[in-house]
Structure 1
Amino acid sequence: MALEPLSQKDVEDRLRELPGWSLEEDRIARTYRLGSHLAAAAMVVHVAQIQDELDHHSDLVLGYRTLALSVNTHSVGGAVTEKDFELAQRVEDIAPGHRAS
């Protein structure tokens, strides 16, 4: 089954299920706060592993004690798809283990 862009309403509905995530232009995004720079870097590695498993990659920005993610699906013209929400949910699932908020 080919990926299809989600409608604006579908994106908004799905974002309600992911507190902290928002729509920024044509991407879903979230910034996590962590206890230290090393903790944020460790989470980057974990997110990279998930992205490789899904073969779907977000933009990651590592800050002093933050990790910012933003993602859309390039293969459908940079729209938000179900695959973006799958990645977001997987990151949400690991965030507590990194004590990310």
Structure 2
Amino acid sequence: MPAAPLSPHEIEDGLRDLPGWTPDGDRITCSYRLPSHVAAAAFTVHIAAIQDELNHHSDLTLGYNTVTLAVNSHDAGGKVTGKDLALAARISAVAPGHGAR
């Protein structure tokens, strides 16, 4: 069963404790800066593993020393759901271990 889309207020509340994550239209986004390209690539691999574990995947972009994510739920019509906030929380929790800021 598809997850229900969240209201703008629910999204704002959910992002309150997720620094760097912001609403952007029908998705939530975050960009991280890392110490090097290799660190950014390692962070990307860690994110991919989390996404596979949750069976919920984002648009993920690797730059020289940056990682940018855009998350929404395709099964909810491309809207933000609780699954998106859960993914953002997991990513935020592992980011400091990669030197991401």
Q: Is the 8 A contact 2:2 2:75 kept in 1?
A: no
Give the TM-score of the pair, scaled to structure 1: 0.97
Deviation at 1:14, TM superposition (A): 1.1
Give the residue type in structure 2 aligned to 1:88.
Answer: A
Give the TM-score of the pair, scaled to structure 2: 0.97
Structure 1 residue ranges without an equivalent (≥5): none
Deviation at 1:2, TM superposition (A): 4.5
Indicate the SS of the match to 2:89. Answer: helix
Aligned to 1:100: 100
Aligned to 1:47: 47
Structure 2 residue ranges without an equivalent (≥5): none
Q: Which 4+ residue blocks in structure 1 deviate beyond 3 angstroms?
A: none
Residue by residue over 1:34-88, the C-alpha shift from the partner in whole angstroms, topping out at 9 and shown as x without a partner, is 0000100000000000000000000001001000011000001001000000000
Deviation at 1:17, TM superposition (A): 1.5
| In structure 1, C-alpha distance between the alignment counterparts of 2:53 and 2:32, rounded to whole Å | 21
Q: Is the 8 A contact 2:2 2:76 kept in 1?
A: no
Q: Among the aligned pairs, what percent are the same residue?
A: 58
